Amino acid sequence: MSPARLAPFPFSRPRRLRQAGWIRDLVRETRLRPEDLIWPMFVREGVDAEEPIPSMPGVSRLTVDRAVEAARRAADLGIPCVALFPYTEAENKSPEAEEAWNPDNLVNTATRAIKKALPEMGVLLDVALDPYNSDGHDGIVRDGVILNDETLLALEKQALAQAEAGCDILGPSDMMDGRIGVIRRALEENEFPDTMIMSYAAKYASAFYGPFRDAVGATGALKGDKKTYQMDYANTDEALREVAADLEEGADMVMVKPGMPYLDICHRVKTTFQVPTFAYQVSGEYAMLAGAIANGWLDGDRVILESLGAFRRAGCDGILTYFAPQAAELLDSAG
């Protein structure tokens, strides 16, 4: 007996293209590769040690030598770039955040060490004062007010110290007005014409940064919130204005942050500007997934790749993610 058939037949059967792995591979619209990933890591003082970050299961603060080892692992996995963030001891924090432009601060030291060991590994550094500021803010604070233009002067010094240390990509993440122009001019005037800028262009005031602030030791320090400089999560058009301004001022690439809850912004930025567009799957997104994976509530291997694939589908060229090494391993074993 012939199987039950519907009449009229569905001539359009989308399932035809899903019937086997080989055809699904052939018609897949977007792909994720290790080359699309940037691996953010936390650096601390000391030697040959690492210290787990409780709110980011699986992520540790690494001493510089361990960060070099991690960068070597990134290279072996095909990850092209690492992003370094410092855990700053309280004695190195101050109201003017001078440690930010210390040529021998943790991230500058780590950058030199990584570039020496692995000249082909890209290094990205945040330009922002929050790890060094005793107020925990990204800008200089006086009488409770975040001072825009005073902060620009500090960011300029920080950016030049980082470029001098060999940093390839500066990531201004402070959201002060005019920072990209100030940094770009300083780079040109000081013979760093090739230093790239990936601006945290559309950076929202987000509760998803909580674990990061633990990781860099800023949680207790932060007074108030960052809503006078980071964006309101209700807004989209404003993100396009921020991106337009940063490109105009000399950014080479732009970033949207956080990531998963902001895929609409990623898509709109990419379709509007057609410039290299990155997203940061931030610490809170990592913590949500890593926590559920650790409890056995989500299938880690699948959910990591699905969450990162969503960024590619939204139009992102690349993703900053704490899952970078696991994802690269999974992609390697799948390929």
Q: How do 60-63 and 50-52 pair as beta strands?
A: antiparallel
Amino acid at 122: G
Piece in contact with ligand PBG (CB under 6 A), picked from 93-101, 207-215, 247-255, 268-276 = 207-215
Strand partners, 84: 41, 125
Q: Which stretch binds ligand PBG (CB under 6 A): 91-99, 100-108, 126-134, 300-308?
A: 126-134
Q: Is 226 a catalytic residue?
A: no
Q: Which of residues 18-77 bind ligand PBG (CB under 6 A)?
A: none
Q: Minimum distance from CB of 191 to ligand PBG (Å)?
A: 27
Q: Which of 88, 93, 101, 130 binds ligand PBG (CB under 6 A)?
A: 130
- Least distance from C-beta 142 to ligand PBG, angstroms? 19
- Rounded CA-CA distance 61/49 in Å is 8
**Residue 254, both tokens:** 């732009």
151 binds ligand PBG (CB under 6 A): no
Tokens 């005793």 identify what position?
Answer: 134
Report whether the peptide linkage leading into residue 172 is cis, meaning its omega lies within 30 degrees of zero.
Answer: no
CB of 282 to ligand PBG, least distance (A): 3
The Cα angle at residue 75 between residues 162 and 203, in degrees rounded to 5: 50
Judge whether 242 is annotated as a binding position.
Answer: yes
Rounded alpha-carbon distances, angstroms, from residue 102 to 85, 107, 109, 188, 201: 15, 10, 10, 21, 25
* Catalytic residue selected from 203, 223, 226, 227: 203
Number of H helices, E strands in the chain: 11, 12
Site for ligand PBG in 259-318 (CB under 6 A): 282-283
User: Which residue in the set 107, 123, 128, 182 belongs to the binding site for ligand PBG (CB under 6 A)?
Assistant: 128
Our answer to whether residue 227 is catalytic in this structure is no
Identify any residues that bridge with 81 across adjacent strands, giving them in sequence order: 38, 122
Nearer to ligand PBG, 184 or 226 (CB): 226
Please state the closest distance from residue 107 (CB atom) to ligand PBG, in A.
12
Catalytic positions are 203, 257
Q: Residue numbers of the site for ligand PBG (CB under 6 A)? A: 126, 128, 130, 138, 173-174, 209, 212-213, 226, 282-283
